[in-house]
A = this chain, B = another copy of it.
Amino acid sequence: MDRTTIASLYKDPQHYGDQQVAVAGWIRSVRDMKNFGFVMLNDGSCFKDLQVVMNRDALACYDDIVAQSVGAALIITGTLVLTPERPQPFELQATSIVVEGESSPDYPMQKKRASREFLRTQQHLRSRTNLFRAVFRVRSVAAFALHEFFQQRGFVYVNTPIITASDAEGAGEMFRVTTLDLQDPPRLKDGSIDWSQDFFGKPTNLTVSGQLQAENFAMSFGDVYTFGPTFRAENSNTRRHAAEFWMLEPEMAFADLGNVMECSEAMLKYTIDQVMKKCPDELAMLNSFVDKGLKARLEHVVASDFARVSYTDAIQILEDAVKAGHSFEYPVSWGVDLQTEHERYLCEQHFARPTFVYDYPVEIKAFYMRLNDDKKTVAATDCLVPGIGEIIGGSQREERLELLEKRIKELSMDPEEYRYYCDLRRYGTCRHAGFGLGFERLVMYLTGIDNIRDVLPHPRTVGNADF
């Protein structure tokens, strides 16, 4: 079927003015004024509705249409009339309306405001509300902006595997993937599971990170990125954690921690800028109803140079704050991992802008991070943003074979499992660095939404895998 999207009408009203057009969408509201009536129609192509005017005398189906419930699908033909004197720039004078699909008075997405908790039980319908139409369009625009940013810089997109036999960095609890019958799995003589009979001939899990595999490709393409789902089987029920979430992981050859900071700052600014350009109506709605400071904060980020502070100096700042009377729940001293409250203090109160903290103690960071000359810290950085805390974690990777092997041994990791990874250091190793962006954290930051369940189309959390 041929139809004109409402987005097209708003994009070029002059082109469609006084023309016949056919639109198709869903009723947001309908009003019967006796001799004429109005339908506010939305087709999802843009945030704005189209006002449709119905003249009772000219429209045989008038009574049928004004009796329709919110959510009904209509196909409407009419003339687009420009109305420069009114709040909306045009309206559609309907000449024919066909009911494509009726709705019902028990439609759960009525105009009245529903709680976000209730809407989580209606994930198949909630994207029809203003709130979720805004959130999920921002999500889509941000995802594409990230692809654009890296493709324009010449990065190669690599789909690292989801099913993996390694545990990456031991970064978290993993989900087992299996085709064995749990009821009665094959067993060896000693009673243990016979994994050789599983689909892959060994135990496999869902990936927690594509970084190690991305490094394989950085050593051939120079600059690469992954962007795909990752998983954590952590039994935590917080606003910031989901069991399944998307992660972007760029990896750059011949690059150091400075390149990570430059690239990730430019990436965030580009993405925010694209969302501001492409989703002005969505941001206006989110700014009015979700987070009054949203637009100001995003504009501020695009205009700011991000702060940079070493972990050691950051600890000093936090200790000074404690001395000056500020109280934190978790104690602060050199060597501790920063808690969200510390991160937020640094980027919200001390620097008042996004902040890179770099050179963390070796003990609290992953095995693959590059040891600094001080032998106490590694070339790692976290990017902290106001309102969220950590949004990006990156590091320069240990490219020196002997130091990497030593670290693997110190941590009692299985050298055989990391043989391929060490191979990259055997054949043409080079300094290289990369980072990971939790995509849902970014969408929360871009929308002001404070619960990760509301930025995932169908969130998976402990006890929840509906739809």
* Whole-angstrom distance between the Cβ of A293 and the nearest chain B Cβ: 26
Stretch from A143-151, A326-334, A339-347 forming part of the interface with B = A143-151
* CA distance in complex: A178, B204 (Å): 11
Stretch from A49-57, A123-131, A353-361 forming part of the interface with B = A123-131
Stretch from A217-225, A294-302, A307-315, A373-381 forming part of the interface with B = A217-225
> How many of A's residues come within 8 Å of B, CB to CB?
111
Q: Are B136 and A158 in contact (CB under 8 A)?
A: yes
A175 contacts chain B at the CB level, 8 A cutoff: yes
**Which of B71, B123, B154, B217 meets A428, CB within 8 Å?**
B71
- Mask, A220-261, CB within 8 Å of B = 1, is 111100001101010100000001101000000111101100
Q: Are A179 and B173 in contact (CB under 8 A)?
A: yes
A158 (CB) vs chain B CBs: closest residue: B457
Q: Are A182 and B176 in contact (CB under 8 A)?
A: yes
Q: Are B136 and A217 in contact (CB under 8 A)?
A: yes
- Mask, A69-92, CB within 8 Å of B = 1, is 001110100000000000000000
Q: Are B465 and A164 in contact (CB under 8 A)?
A: yes
Q: Are B429 and A462 in contact (CB under 8 A)?
A: no
Known A1-B255, A244-B163; contact A222-B431, beta-carbon cutoff 8 A: no
A454 contacts chain B at the CB level, 8 A cutoff: no
Residues of B within 8 A of A24 (CB): 253-254, 430
Q: Are A213 and B458 in contact (CB under 8 A)?
A: yes
A336 contacts chain B at the CB level, 8 A cutoff: no
A157 contacts chain B at the CB level, 8 A cutoff: yes
Q: Are A193 and B199 in contact (CB under 8 A)?
A: no
Q: Are A217 and B162 in contact (CB under 8 A)?
A: no
**Which of B100, B137, B192, B223 meets A430, CB within 8 Å?**
B100
Q: Are B177 and A176 in contact (CB under 8 A)?
A: yes
Q: Are B457 and A154 in contact (CB under 8 A)?
A: no
* CA distance in complex: A123, B215 (Å): 12
* Whole-angstrom distance between the Cβ of A449 and the nearest chain B Cβ: 15
* CA distance in complex: A305, B139 (Å): 35
**Which of B1, B136, B177, B425 meets A177, CB within 8 Å?**
B177
Q: Are A458 and B182 in contact (CB under 8 A)?
A: no
- Mask, A1-38, CB within 8 Å of B = 1, is 10101010000000000000000111100000000000
A66 contacts chain B at the CB level, 8 A cutoff: no
Known A144-B151, A430-B73; contact A159-B124, beta-carbon cutoff 8 A: no
* Whole-angstrom distance between the Cβ of A15 and the nearest chain B Cβ: 16
* CA distance in complex: A193, B137 (Å): 41
A48 contacts chain B at the CB level, 8 A cutoff: no
Q: Are B427 and A221 in contact (CB under 8 A)?
A: no
**Which of B3, B177, B258, B259 meets A175, CB within 8 Å?**
B177
* CA distance in complex: A426, B72 (Å): 9
Q: What are 11 A-B pairs at a CB distance below 8 A?
A: A45-B223, A71-B428, A100-B428, A100-B430, A107-B428, A128-B220, A143-B157, A163-B243, A163-B465, A176-B180, A199-B462
The 4 A-B residue pairs with the shortest CB-CB distance in the complex, in nearest-first order: A101-B429, A44-B221, A44-B222, A200-B465
